[in-house]
Structure 1
Amino acid sequence: MEIKNIDQLSDEFIWQDSVGLITKSLGAAGGSQKVYVNIDYVPPKAYSTKYHSHSQQEEFFIILSGTGTLRLQDKERDVKQGDFFAKPAGQNIAHTFYNSSDDILVILDVGTNEKEDTCYYPDEDVYMQKSNEQRRVFRGGDSDLLWTSEPNQ
């Protein structure tokens, strides 16, 4: 086991998008297998993720610095340093953070690593299913309501 430093992570554990959202994957860098530990740096006027829920993955969040807006179950709440909450899996609890301030919003994001999970994005009616090391994305309207698993039909 090796002690790592957040300011000296290799690039493979740092993700960044085009607007400057940065995620540092501390758990992966440290060798964690059952939980992930990320620090998200959300720039002003940006979102942390698309609004979504998980079927299997449990999550916990704490605001390390900055202020912003948490959209949770279609209600918006102001958040600030020290605010935290847990999001149990399988309860259709959708969330996203928006940085409504002029400073970087820093969030510690901890959760379970699940081999099987379905994320639902209600704003777009999109499902992302993770199963057997593959990801499948489909719209709710694409569901085949006539299909059955019964073998004799």
Structure 2
Amino acid sequence: MTSKQEAPRKPVLFRAADHAQLKEQTQSHPLNPNSLLRGISLSEQVGLQRLGFHLLRIPPGKESFIFHLHQSEEEFLYILSGRGIAELGEESVEVGPGDFMGFPTPSVGHHLRNPFQEELVYISGGERRQVEVADFPRLGKRLVRFGTQVSIFDVAAVQNLSFGEE
């Protein structure tokens, strides 16, 4: 027996009827003025800590975040309804219901936008590691997240270290 009291666990079942009880979150990427996402984090509702799982919506004419790639966290997207344009590396393809995209690391650059008249609804998920590095290659920037601390800097300003060869 330990003297440290554990925090109460969240329920393992989050029912569809409970979705309406949640306040929807709105999020946009600070480097993309056309970024606008609305949705809920399903993983938060059941206490998942190492995996993010989100039900998201992109309104017509808006975009998910910004073209980016991951160095350490895998990510996936599954389209539920609507249509969108997925930028996958240098290719742009139309995606719709049932389409699945997976981004093992290091990932190919990717981005999702909705130039159509109906809302694009999808599930997004991935790892939640303590440290993540993501690049914004079209902007020449790199994001480093350690826990909740996020830093972004110009890749051109990076100084590479060498400890010599042994």
TM-score (normalizing by structure 2): 0.79
Matching residue of 2:4:
none
1:18-58 CA distances to partner (integer Å, 9 max, x unpaired)? 87521311112221111000111001111111000111111
Matching residue of 1:142:
157
Matching residue of 2:133:
118
Is 2:63 the counterpart of 1:47? yes
Q: C-alpha distance in 1, partners of 2:81/2:59?
A: 12
Deviation beyond 6 Å, 4+ runs, structure 1: none
Cα drift, residue 10 of structure 1: 4.3
Matching residue of 1:7:
20
Unmatched 5+ stretches in structure 1:
none
**Which secondary structure does the structure 1 equivalent of 2:117 belong to?**
coil
Is 2:137 the counterpart of 1:130? no
Q: Percent identity?
A: 25
Q: C-alpha distance in 1, partners of 2:69/2:20?
A: 30
Q: Give the CA RMSD over aligned residues.
A: 2.1
Q: C-alpha distance in 1, partners of 2:58/2:148?
A: 28
Unmatched 5+ stretches in structure 2:
1-9
Count of matched residue pairs: 146
Q: Which amino acid aligns with 2:80?
A: L
Is 2:110 the counterpart of 1:95? yes
Greater C-alpha radius of gyration: 2
Q: Check whether the contact 1:63–1:79 (CA below 8 A) recurs between aligned residues.
A: yes
